[in-house]
Amino acid sequence: MGKLKGLLLTEGMHGMISQTEGLAKALDLDFMHEKIELNSFWKLLPPKITPVKNFVFKNKIENKFDIVISCGRKSVVPSIYLKNKFRNKIINIHIQEPNVSLNNFDFIVAPEHDDLIGKNVLTSKGAIHYITQKKIKESKNYLIDKFQLYNYFNEDRLVAIILGGPNRYYSFSDTALVKVFEKIKINFINVGYQAIVIPSFRTPKRIIEIAKKYFNEKQLVITDVDKKAYLAALAMTKYIVVTCDSTSMISEAATTGKPIYVAQMPTIKSNERFKKFFNLFKSLNIIKDLNNSVEDWTYEKLNETNKIANQIKEKIKLNELS
């Protein structure tokens, strides 16, 4: 028997692709991506008042599939539509709170800090994602080879700076960003560490330029989004600093088991969901806030994607036997 076929429905954003692809790989699916595009009028309405009809979305989905994995607001209605159309011939899984009845899905995967409850809800500590310890290990020498950094970096004295970007909760003002860089300079660079600065898809060029101007030539500032550079930085460094705007990147860093400092920034609106996440990860001894001191600590490496995949496999197996 061949692999089951998976259909991944997202809005095309990196964080959504990371979560759906990570789960698909953990389920050992032969999968394809479908970037969902809603027709103009329906973009304005929330899923709970949108009709579950194929005229809502532009996509013509014709490939055969066994499992639908969706993530993001725009993917909610297409996933429900496909489930209604094919019924028990397919399984549909939605990642994150869908803001419609949970009964529309076979499984909901949600982070623990979202406090979502339901008989078909599976919870993860932080976000699930595509990153594995194997992928990190395989990418370890990428930056050394690409930039000819032989004898340039000492792995015991390296810190990764993983940059996010502005969102509804954090504006990333120049002043706030420079304050974060100042803390990194005091805590790490001034005592002999070298920094590897890694941007993400949400990092504006403005922020990269500020980093280039702030850090001297002994620090490595990556100017383009590069998945292998990101994985290499996670592999090479002793400490990891991640900006507070991305629970996904913090969750990904927690795969390493390395000390993670979260660079907190002023908020522009209530960030209670973020606070719950930070409190959970602090209770697990995974993160500390970036302040004025550095210490070593250890924790159990997170592997939530495999945990969720195994739970889904077990539940599917039980249903087949019942």
Same-domain pairing of 184 and 201: yes
Cα separation, 171 vs 166, in Å, equals: 5
Cα separation, 97 vs 191, in Å, equals: 44
Which residue carries 């705007």 as its tokens?
245
Same-domain pairing of 25 and 86: yes
Look at residues 162, 165, 143 and name the one whose alpha carbon lies nearest to residue 251.
Answer: 162
pLDDT tens readout for residues 198-233: 999 999 999 999 999 999 989 999 999 999 999 999
Tell me the CATH number at 13: 3.40.50
pLDDT of residue 1 exceeding 70, the answer is: no
Same-domain pairing of 120 and 137: no
- 139 domain residue, yes or no: yes
The CA-based angle 210-215-217, given to 5 degrees, is 125
Cα separation, 79 vs 116, in Å, equals: 19
Same-domain pairing of 148 and 73: no
Residue 319: count of CB within 10 angstroms of its CB: 11
Half-sphere exposure of 193 (CA within 13 A, CB side): 24
**180 CB-contact burial (10 Å; exposed 0-12 / middle 13-18 / buried 19+):** buried
Same-domain pairing of 176 and 265: yes
Same-domain pairing of 183 and 155: yes
Same-domain pairing of 102 and 139: no
Q: What is the DSSP code (8-state) at residue 129?
A: -
Half-sphere exposure of 283 (CA within 13 A, CB side): 10
Q: What is the DSSP code (8-state) at residue 17?
A: H
CA distances from 268 to 169, 208, 300 (A): 5, 22, 33
Same-domain pairing of 37 and 99: yes
Q: Whats the size of the chain, residue-wise?
A: 322
Can you give the pTM of this predicted structure? 0.93
Tell me what pLDDT residue 150 has. Answer: 76
The identity of residue 125, as a single letter, is: K
pLDDT of residue 322 exceeding 50, the answer is: no
Q: What confidence tier does 321 reach under pLDDT thresholds 50, 70, 90?
A: low
- 281 domain residue, yes or no: yes
Look at residues 24, 68, 71 and name the one whose alpha carbon lies nearest to residue 248.
Answer: 71
Same-domain pairing of 165 and 272: yes
Of the ranges 23-27, 61-65, 80-84, 278-282, which one carries the lowest mean pLDDT score? 61-65
- Residues 68 and 49: beta-carbon distance below 8 Å: no
pLDDT tens readout for residues 133-162: 999 999 999 999 998 887 788 888 999 999
Tell me what pLDDT residue 152 has. Answer: 82
CA distances from 302 to 138, 190, 285 (A): 18, 31, 12
Domain count within the chain: 2
What percent of the chain is predicted at pLDDT more than 70? 99
Question: What is the three-class DSSP state of 155?
Answer: helix
- Domain enclosing residue 274, as ranges: 133-289
Half-sphere exposure of 3 (CA within 13 A, CB side): 12
Helix %, strand %, coil % of the chain (to 5): 40, 20, 40
